Amino acid sequence: MNVFLLCLTISGYAILQAIMEKAGQNNWQVSAICVENFSDANYRRLLEDLDRRQEKKFVIDLEAERLQNMLEQIVSVGKHVKGYHYIMANLGFKDINLERFMHGGANVTGFQLVDFSNPMVIKLMQRWNKLDQREYPGSDTPPKYTSALTYDGVMVMAEAFRHLRRQKVDISRRGNAGDCLANPAAPWNQGIDMERTLKQVRLQGLTGNVQFDHYGRRVNYTMDVFELKNNGPRRIGYWNDADKLVLIQDSPLHPNDTSGMENRTVIVTTIM
């Protein structure tokens, strides 16, 4: 299998490394290019060159604005039709405007971290929709998944501070901060308390269950897997760190959905 990865900056290299490791295990051929300084014309030339090379499968890891621009260029050169396969590497599939892709026939798959049926998310959206756009510019569009992650991050910090206060740990005490350039590094005493407490935080946020392992990595969370149909995005499964990828068929095909199972590409992936 040949896969082409489009990434933006250094943040995309971690995904590239993970894909390369998986490619080595499965004998995939993976190519990648950084499009950080690309113009619209550069995008089109790249797509035309890839088409000449018969590249049909793409993993696109771009920030929202760049991603939308890239998708517009894909449509402009007619690469959104049957036979092309795109995986969106960000975690906000429903944040992406894919209206022009819906009837093209391309296989488009992505991940959705925020569950809009979550009562906490529903409550937030009810409040969000009541905001005055004049007082809160931008409230006319739904918040993106990155905003949900930021919100949950603040909640984690607040919960950690509350826990430290209950334990009578005074993190405002300056103490001996030590030399920032010390080798080996000398940790700040309150910093050690803060790190330990952050790892112990567990709460329900806009992105679902939020908790961490002893390395500080997030664990026990679930994201949905979506595929674009000609009547809009459809949930086709979910991923979590226990079950990995689980594909489901939770609703019958829409009468106007002509994609069918015979034209289906099953994506097996690992979220790092």
CATH number for the domain harbouring residue 159: 3.40.50.2300
The tally of domains found in the chain comes to 2
Q: What is the pLDDT of residue 271?
A: 39
Query: CA-CA distance, 63 to 249, in Å (whole number)?
Result: 30
Instruction: Work out the average pLDDT over 254-269.
Output: 45
* Residue 12 binned pLDDT confidence (cut-offs 50, 70, 90): low
Instruction: Work out the average pLDDT over 31-41.
Output: 80
Q: What is the pLDDT of residue 258?
A: 46
Angle at 223 between CA 217 and CA 225, to 5 degrees: 140
Query: 168 and 100, same structural domain?
Result: no
Query: 236 and 153, same structural domain?
Result: no
Query: 228 and 98, same structural domain?
Result: yes
* Residue 264 binned pLDDT confidence (cut-offs 50, 70, 90): very low
Instruction: Work out the average pLDDT over 69-78.
Output: 92
Q: Which of 272, 22, 226 shows the shortest CA–CA distance to 110?
A: 226
Query: 233 and 174, same structural domain?
Result: no
Query: 153 and 59, same structural domain?
Result: no
Query: 107 and 168, same structural domain?
Result: no
Q: What is the pLDDT of residue 27?
A: 85
Q: 232-251: string of b/e by CB count within 10 Å (b at 16+)?
A: ebbbbbbbbeeeeeeeeeee
Q: Which of 44, 92, 90 shows the shortest CA–CA distance to 71?
A: 44
Whether residue 128 is contained in a domain is answered as no
Tell which wins on pLDDT, 186 or 162. 162
48 beta partners: none
Query: 200 and 156, same structural domain?
Result: yes
Whether residue 126 is contained in a domain is answered as no
Query: CA-CA distance, 112 to 104, in Å (whole number)?
Result: 22
* Residue 63 binned pLDDT confidence (cut-offs 50, 70, 90): confident
Q: pTM for the full model?
A: 0.81
Domain that residue 90 falls in? 2-113+221-263
Q: Please give the radius of gyration of the chain, using alpha carbons only, rounded to the nearest integer.
A: 22
Instruction: Work out the average pLDDT over 69-95.
Output: 93
Query: 6 and 98, same structural domain?
Result: yes
Query: 165 and 82, same structural domain?
Result: no
Q: Give how far Cα 139 sits from Cα of 58, 128, 162, 181, Å.
A: 33, 7, 30, 44
Q: What is the pLDDT of residue 178?
A: 64
